[in-house]
Structure 1
């Protein structure tokens, strides 16, 4: 009698454990299905939306070229070399979103512009903010301007000159005109905003599709496992 009860208790424990595992698995499966629905819904929404349909068409790289290594990095790098040997390198990355204004591009771009003369180790560096302007597409402001003795002299302790905001207003305007003359005008800033936002959207779509594929594969695996045990 005791032996029978022991066997019965053992069998009941096994069934309870199996039932709990089954319930947990089913609950997890339902959660995965809901997440899969979310991924599919978001993908359909993004495919149906044309976020940049009102973007200005007057955007161009001009004489700049996109660095071939930049698609795999967080920032985008543009380069231009003049016949004189002078070189310009631009590094641009999107800033945080701003949804206060109804803009085509909700993020500003943080841009660094480096200008190097031939046969000189020194260079000029400009920190700029590129933003959308509804009346003309985009514009940029210089937040800092530095003179660097060498591209390797980037330590914060090295004196880089006075703060940009303390400079004479006419001199600030002259530095902006200098950059515009080097090809950093409205056409290029329009391009940067469009390119950066479009690339971010493509990366987001790739992430959504990978997430969808992962849950589809998991659902298929669970279905096969369920059929084997049924």
Structure 2
């Protein structure tokens, strides 16, 4: 799994998602040397959503599978739930998402402090 980034999202809907911090995740599931299943996910404070998924050729292979499949939201709701369960059984849970959120916030804070130090040093010299 890789954490692709973190950013604030302002949702104009009438729900409670305004000014929410979201974490972009790419989860890759492999079985030996065969093809891989890659999930593109977003972690919110309420849970993890799957934005999309696709099969890819084996790691290091230039062979890509030609059909990327339908949009995740176009899949039957039961199938969508099954894929969420599939990820949960592989450790992609709320506790992991909360850990990643805290880690990213601390990392961003440290990077900001380092940036300030570098800017101060540059400006003063």
Shorter-chain TM-score range? 0.7 to 0.9
Correspondence for 2:41 among 123, 128, 137:
128
CA 1:154–1:172 in structure 2 vs 1: closer, same or farther (change >3 Å)? farther
Does the 8 Å CA contact 1:111/1:128 hold for their aligned counterparts? Answer: yes
3-state SS of 1:132 partner: coil
Q: How many Å apart are 1:210 and its aligned residue? A: 1.2
Report the counterpart of residue 145 of structure 1 in structure 2: 53
Instruction: Say if 2:115 is the partner of 1:202.
Output: no
Q: CA RMSD in A?
A: 2.3
Q: Aligned partners of 2:39 and 2:75: how far apart in 1?
A: 14
Contact 2:57/2:63 (CA < 8 Å) preserved in 1?
Answer: no
1:65-144 superposed matches below 5 A = 90-98=1-9, 106-118=20-32, 120-133=33-46, 139-144=47-52
Q: Please, which runs of 5 or more residues in structure 1 have no aligned partner? A: 1-89, 134-138, 219-230
For normalisation by structure 2, the TM-score amounts to 0.82
* 1:149 to partner: Cα distance: 3.0
2:6–2:104: 8 Å Cα contact kept in structure 1? no
Q: Is the 8 A contact 1:112 1:128 kept in 2?
A: yes
Equivalent pair of 1:146/1:160 in contact (CA under 8 Å): yes
Q: CA separation in 2, counterparts of 1:154 and 1:97?
A: 36
The answer to whether the 8 A contact 2:4-2:26 is kept is no
Structure of higher RCO (CA pairs closer than 8 Å, 6+ residues apart):
1
CA contact (8 A) 2:29 2:38 kept: yes
Instruction: Kindly provide the CA deviation profile for residues 40-92 of structure 1, in whole angstroms up to 9, marking residues without a partner as x.
Output: xxxxxxxxxxxxxxxxxxxxxxxxxxxxxxxxxxxxxxxxxxxxxxxxxx011
Unaligned runs of 5+ in 2: 12-16
TM (norm. structure 1) is: 0.47
Structure showing greater Rg: 1
**How many residues in Structure 1 have an aligned counterpart in Structure 2?**
119
More strand by share: 2
Q: What is the distance in 1 between the residues matched to 2:50 and 2:69?
A: 15
1:213 aligns with 2:103: no
Report the equivalent of 2:74: 166
The structure where helix makes up a greater share of residues is 1
